[in-house]
Structure 1
Amino acid sequence: MTVARRDLDAMRALRALEDGRSSVRLRAALAVGTEPDPRFVDKLVERCAIEPEFFVRDMLTWALTRHPVSLTLPGLLREVRSERAQARSQALHTLSKIGDRRAWPAITWELLSDAEDDVARSAWRAAVVLVPGGEESALATMLTTQLGRGERETQLSLSQALVALGEVTAPALRAATTASDPRVRAHAIATQRLLRDPDAGFGLAIEEAKRVVALAGAPGTDDENRADR
């Protein structure tokens, strides 16, 4: 293929990423990832921030992972500081897929506690992937401050992140079972169960934990013991 033909194909692909039809955008993202080109990186990052369709966004992320990290990392690190929630969320999601730990300093407390649940969930997943060895316990402590937050999908995401960190989360979860907020206590107890048995269903775990907390009435160290019965 001649240089002129490659340039023409690249321009067509870039235009197709903005097509009004999601199917066309999806094919364009696939094409861009199949034949990586440095000229695509900025457009891919830009499109992630505004693409309305989940499957297209996922393909955009895949296309970015096909390009050298040296080209993708700077733009993604800028996006995690964007005022646009989707830009932050998708950049964090992409960083978790790339898995380069040089991105770890960008996973700030502000992102881990972002007011937008989608952003916070993406930050939790990215943090678990990127956390340097030896800092897992500190991360677990930070994550447990978010226990009890949001609806079931958000709570499940946080529990999965804590479980992925492993046994280092046990002390922080144990402390959270004595919190004054019953939602926090229930979420901590449910996460403890998932930590012991990752195959256990979260729905059953959280409902049982809520019953335990309701029966306990007040925070105390007996909560976890009740949950084991």
Structure 2
Amino acid sequence: MTIPKQDTTTIRALQGLESSSSSIRLQAALAVGTTPDPQFIDTLIDRCAIEPEFYVREMLTWALTRHSASMTVPKLLDEVRSERARARSQALHTLSKIGDRQVWPAITRALLADAEDEVARSAWRAAVVLVPEGEEPELAAVLSTQLGRGERETQLSLSRALIALGEVILPTLRAAMKDLDPRVRQHAVATERLLRNPDAGFEFAIDEAKRIVALGRTSQEG
């Protein structure tokens, strides 16, 4: 990477973002976010697409949110269309933290059903933050097509996203409780239980849902 004439602190931060040490990358991202400068934006976004450490990615996202949204959002929207799953996932995550609802059209059905769980989960979280008022029922219907997907971590992410939409999800969940796929029915029941009792915990809710589905009962039947 060709670095133009810059002060020593800037050069050190840019080099730090590319260090093999995760702790150095973390400190570099912190420094960049503490003293934001537009010249860092491209490097931050490029690093997000390949950064293996979760806590470093979180700091990179924080650093991006410290810069002007007018400069970061267009570049992040480009990343949402990337062929690299991590680039899509982290861009979506960062957009959700920025919270600019004008990017809502970029949260497509394709992203919400992305084959990569990491991307889909980021898309679900971004969607519930950015959804325009009044479009929550439609979003709930789209999200419900992913019920039963993946392992516990992915299912919990979807349940949390749905629950964040509030009671508008109930009609959709009740329809899903009649699905032919028992995994879909179980996930729908567990999500409804968590909506009613957030303190229950997902493991308890999913185990209870399995019993309910095995007995052929829905929440409407008791």
CA distance in 1, matches of 2:15, 2:32: 11
Match of residue 35 from structure 1: 35
- Aligned length, in residue pairs: 219
Correspondence 1:132-171 to 2 at 5 A? 132-171=132-171
Correspondence 1:10-49 to 2 at 5 A? 10-49=10-49
- TM-superposed CA distance for 1:5, in Å, is 9.4
- TM-superposed CA distance for 1:8, in Å, is 3.1
**Residues 169/191 of structure 1: CA separation in 2 closer, same or farther (3 Å cut):** same
CA distance in 2, matches of 1:167, 1:6: 53
CA distance in 1, matches of 2:194, 2:52: 33
Q: Summarize deviations over 1:28-51 as a string: whole Å, max 9, x none.
A: 000000000000111101100001
**Match for 1:31: what amino acid?**
A
Match of residue 219 from structure 1: none
**Match for 2:154: what amino acid?**
T
Match of residue 194 from structure 1: 194
1:224 is aligned to 2:219: yes
Correspondence 1:105-144 to 2 at 5 A? 105-144=105-144
Correspondence 1:24-103 to 2 at 5 A? 24-103=24-103
SS in structure 1 of the partner of residue 81 of structure 2: coil
Compute the TM-score of the two structures, normalised by the length of structure 1: 0.93
- TM-superposed CA distance for 1:10, in Å, is 1.6
SS in structure 2 of the partner of residue 63 of structure 1: helix
Match of residue 207 from structure 1: 207
Match of residue 185 from structure 1: 185
SS in structure 2 of the partner of residue 199 of structure 1: helix
Counterpart contact for 1:121–1:154, Cα < 8 Å: yes
CA distance in 1, matches of 2:202, 2:50: 32
CA distance in 2, matches of 1:72, 1:131: 20
**Match for 1:43: what amino acid?**
T
SS in structure 1 of the partner of residue 7 of structure 2: helix
Counterpart contact for 1:163–1:198, Cα < 8 Å: no
SS in structure 2 of the partner of residue 88 of structure 1: helix
Compute the TM-score of the two structures, normalised by the length of structure 2: 0.95
SS in structure 1 of the partner of residue 214 of structure 2: helix
Structure 1 residue runs without a partner (length 5+) = 217-221
**Match for 1:89: what amino acid?**
S
- TM-superposed CA distance for 1:195, in Å, is 1.1
